Amino acid sequence: MDAKQHLESLRSSLNEIFDQSLINRGNIGSSHYYSSCIYDFAQNIASDDERKILETVAAQIESAALISAFGLYRQAFASLRLALEMGLGAVYFSIHRLELNEWQDGKADIKWSQLIDDERGVLSKRFADAFFKGLADESRLQKEAASRVYRKLSEFVHGNYETWRPEGLTLSYQQELDSEYELLCKAVFDIIMFSLCCRYLKSMNAEELDTMSFIEVELGHIAPIREALGGPKDL
């Protein structure tokens, strides 16, 4: 088989996997929904820098959805990890402008350890107390969730041994990995959206909040956020 035939064979396999993904996925539009929510939130942020980063996050989630549908799960998990890093990074850079400028100049990287640092991180009690009092306890839970999700995604990015199962060495539809992608994509979205609300919600006016009804749908179970949106204290 020459190179052209080989590539055509791979394309045929990818198309078959894509068809299976569309049939088997419980909520085929979920990733697009998550992406659009983050994009819409970004449009209500005054800073061009933070808005552009979040628009890139939305694009990464769309990319992850596409490549996972073709059975390229490792690459999809890598895109989700990047989305998580950049989503929290946008929030981090909003209060650390020096690091933002250094990152934009290519002199520094987004460091996960800084994003979730107990003192300077965006999921710390200190951060919540500064921007949205009442979210400290939830921030702690979100930080624990972020650490778990990041670790899981990193297993695929770094090629941990257990991620190289025999059936994963060839192109094929994997129900287990497809389901795991959906769960991790939702988790990444939840963490990013919570971080954005913690940082920006208190500074937004009623008109801006009215354009983002998805916040109440997704995070309305968190009492301080529900109250900030005009909802009841108790359900």
For residue 234, is it within any domain? no
Do 223 and 136 meet the contact criterion of CB atoms below 8 Å apart?
no
Note the pLDDT tens digit of each residue in 73-122: 999 999 999 999 999 999 999 999 999 999 999 999 999 999 999 999 99
- The answer to whether the beta carbons of residues 192 and 83 sit under 8 Å apart is yes
The answer to whether residue 20 sits within a structural domain is yes
- The residue written with tokens 């900030």 in the block is 228
Residue with tokens 């999921």: 123
According to the model, what pLDDT value does residue 201 have?
97
Mean residue pLDDT across the chain: 91
Q: What is the pTM of this model?
A: 0.92
**Mean of pLDDT values over 181-200:** 97
Q: What pLDDT score was predicted for residue 223?
A: 95
CA distances from 6 to 3, 15, 69, 74, 174 (A): 5, 14, 21, 21, 22
In a domain, 233, yes or no: no
Dihedral of CA 3/73/71/172: which sign?
Answer: positive
Domain count for the chain, please give it. 1
Q: Domain containing 17: what range? A: 3-228
Q: Write the pLDDT tens digit of every residue in 144-179.
A: 999 999 999 998 887 654 555 544 557 788 888 989
Is residue 132 included in any domain, yes or no? Answer: yes
Angle at 56 between CA 50 and CA 58, to 5 degrees: 105
In a domain, 18, yes or no: yes
